[in-house]
Structure 1
Amino acid sequence: MQNLQSQITQDNNTVFEESFQDQYTQYHYHCYEQELEELGEFCWEVFDESMNIINKENWCNMEMVLRSYSHLTECMDNSSMLAGCFYPNHVVEHLFMKIHQQYFSSCNNEEDLSDAPPGVVLVATLLPIALIPFIVYIVVWKSSLKY
């Protein structure tokens, strides 16, 4: 019985490894980067148009930019698939770096987030620590009960 389970496990692993290798060769050796760059330029243009609709002052407001950025990500994912490439890849990474430099380089998130008040930090730290002895007591109490 154990020999049969071992054989089934080995067969399943072999099938998994073979399908993974097929995927690797399908995408790795047939990635048309030139086509991906051209499709990426199309995605850039669509993103650029949507960002021009949003005022430049609102480019750092994630609520206003999120939909356009999500469409860009989806466009690049689909473009990678059409070009036979893995997603993400260095072509997509390069495009996103250019987009972040052009549109989001002046955004500073550190000023947007402030530290939590000390009381909140203290409670959030001590509450879980204080619950540990109580949980240990319940576990010991339940284990000492006889059915």
Structure 2
Amino acid sequence: MMEENYKENVQLCWQDYKIQMDSIEKDWCDWAIISRPYSSLQNCLEQKAESFGVGFPNPWAEQVILETHQIHFANCSLVQPTFTDPPEDVLLAMIIAPICLIPFLVTLVVWRSKDGEAQT
């Protein structure tokens, strides 16, 4: 019986969320616009779970969240930034700097190891 009451309360969260989302003009992929209703849904689901002594997340809450993603966010995709090559002068500096640094470091190691032998 308690499980049924919890499911009904989860549906109330869903209905409130759906009303909020339906009032938004289909710009559901803009997080700045949908973050408030989405956070309200999550808070509602968490509060209902806590008041009924059910852990969160749980299968019923997950079903509601999955349903909202299928209905409201199915056409949203992540915009991946396109990477470009750095300018040629930057690229050359990044290549030449370590190449020039290696002989200096080798010389430094050899010089320090000779100093170590003289002291013992």
1:38 offset after TM fit, Å? 0.7
Per the alignment, do residues 36 and 117 of structure 1 end up closer, same or farther by CA in structure 2, a change over 3 Å counting? farther
TM-score (norm 1): 0.55
Which residue does 1:48 correspond to in 2?
A: 18
Asked if 1:117 corresponds to 2:84, the answer is yes
For 2:48 and 2:66, how far apart are their aligned partners in 1? 17
AA aligned to 1:45 is Q
1:92 aligns to 2:92 (yes or no): no
Question: Unmatched 5+ residue regions in structure 2?
Answer: 99-104, 106-120
The runs of 4+ residues in structure 1 deviating greater than 3 Å are: none
Contact preservation (8 Å) 1:47, 1:72: yes
1:82, 1:98 → 2: CA distance? Answer: 23
Q: Secondary structure at the match of 1:88?
A: coil
- 1:61 counterpart letter in structure 2: D
Q: Specify the SS of the correspondent of 1:119.
A: coil
Deviations 1:9-34 (A, max 9, x none): xxxxxxxxxxxxxxxxxxxxxxx332
Scaled by the length of structure 2, the TM-score of the pair is: 0.67
Cα root mean square deviation, aligned: 2.6
Distance 1:34 1:114, change over 3 A: same
| Residue pairs, 1:61-80, within 5 angstroms | 61-80=30-49
Matches within 5 A, 1:104-143: 104-109=73-78, 112-119=79-86
Bigger radius of gyration: 2
Partner letter of residue 49 of structure 1? I
Distance 1:44 1:119, change over 3 A: same
